[in-house]
Structure 1
């Protein structure tokens, strides 16, 4: 089975793709709407909201794919998870921005909010499945398993190593 087929079948990935399509529809609806702007800066701000929504909707499935492999180290998976969470939360923030600027089709935004909430539950369950003991020490201190500190000695540091064991001489 191709690697893509593995993460393509994950419920969290399917929901991420659903969110991406929903964001595309929202962006098209915003761009087609006739929001009356008093100032040019308001038009730029709503365009930024739309662009950020599109970007974040693309980041989420990409980072899921990057963290989907069970062979991936815990800190890398958690780093991707943090980016996914940030992107999902920013979708909601940008939806509020679009609504505040006068976008009238709020039912689309409500659909997005509902989809992100469903995604949040799938996300939390997915993150619980990460093997926190498949790790190397994160020297930055952000994504270590409980009880592991950034300045802990390397657990493999005291293993005897003889380079002659690897030479063909």
Structure 2
């Protein structure tokens, strides 16, 4: 589940409800646009987190579950692609609720780069729904090669 950005109701939506909606609005098919849950170790690419507890939670590894969305002890999902953090919803799916502040230290988390990701692909003439998205846009590498705004 994911709370729609700008949503006043705060209603969470299931992954099924998200399919086919605009990812730019914070919604879209998880299989192609988000870091796959089983590969969440890529979150280590955003090596500097706000505090030791957040780092520990983002890098959580369970000996019994390969997928953090299945492990009841995994609490945080980190999308390196969009520089977003979310609290995992343990409802049997691969969903999370995006957060703007660290639940442990209270610091503001980095601003989402979701819109910038889409803008950069558009600038390059790439349609993420139709074209193959370059490998550097599958993780956080795209962000490190751009001039900082």
Higher strand fraction: Structure 1 or Structure 2?
2
Fold conserved (TM > 0.5)? no
Per the normalisation by structure 2, the TM-score is: 0.28
Structure with the higher helix share, 1 or 2: 1
**Bigger Cα Rg:** 1
